[in-house]
Amino acid sequence: AAFQFFGGGGAGSPEEVLTTMADAVNAQDPVLAATVVDPDELPMLVELMTEFEGARERSGLGGSGPVKGTELEVTDLDLDVDELAPNVARVTLTDGELSASYDLKEAPAPVQAFVDNDDRDKRESGSVSVDDYEDEVGAELSAIVVKKGRGWYVSPSLTTADLNQSNRSRNTAACSA
């Protein structure tokens, strides 16, 4: 809640924004993640997360924090920075691994029911390389970061707009082919 009012100090470089986000995912630490979210967008994100936590609570997944019995991990990231404008850059993941695991015995009842009823996914863990993800989805994993004051921050709204534009460009190219 303090970050809603004070924000974080940002990162020292565009790359550090994404490495901090990876550290936050690995530590399951939303406060660490908040330190590198654009302070102008943080109140909107806090509101969205509050609504999401309410939905999680109503569905039986628990109100806040990681879903019990789950773990996410980001490792071995390689990043490429493309300056788009002064104080604005696209940081693209060029290599790395995204992993997820869960302990079904520890998971909330709705997760247990879903996995028990879903024959496709009886695994307790899985991972995907950045390259394999990009091949599957047909898009690069990237984020738009902005410099404000002395710190760099991820901009969720600019990242979403960039992804939407990339999708439109791919769809237009596919229709032309």
Question: pLDDT by residue (tens digit) across 36-75?
Answer: 999 999 888 878 777 877 777 887 777 666 767 778 899 9
Tell me what pLDDT residue 5 has.
Answer: 42
Q: Are 169 and 140 in contact (CB under 8 A)?
A: no
Strand extents, DSSP E, the chain: 70-85, 88-102, 125-129, 142-148, 151-154
Phi-psi region at 62: left, alpha or beta (left = phi > 0; alpha = psi -120 to 50): left
pLDDT digits (tens, 9 = 90+) for 102-128: 777 777 777 777 665 554 455 566 778
Q: Does the pLDDT value for residue 158 go beyond 70?
A: yes
pTM score: 0.76
Tens of pLDDT, residues 83-107: 999 999 999 999 999 887 777 777 7
pLDDT in tens, 10-32: 999 999 999 999 999 999 888 89
Q: Cα separation of 177 and 167, whole Å?
A: 15
So what's the pLDDT on residue 172? 65
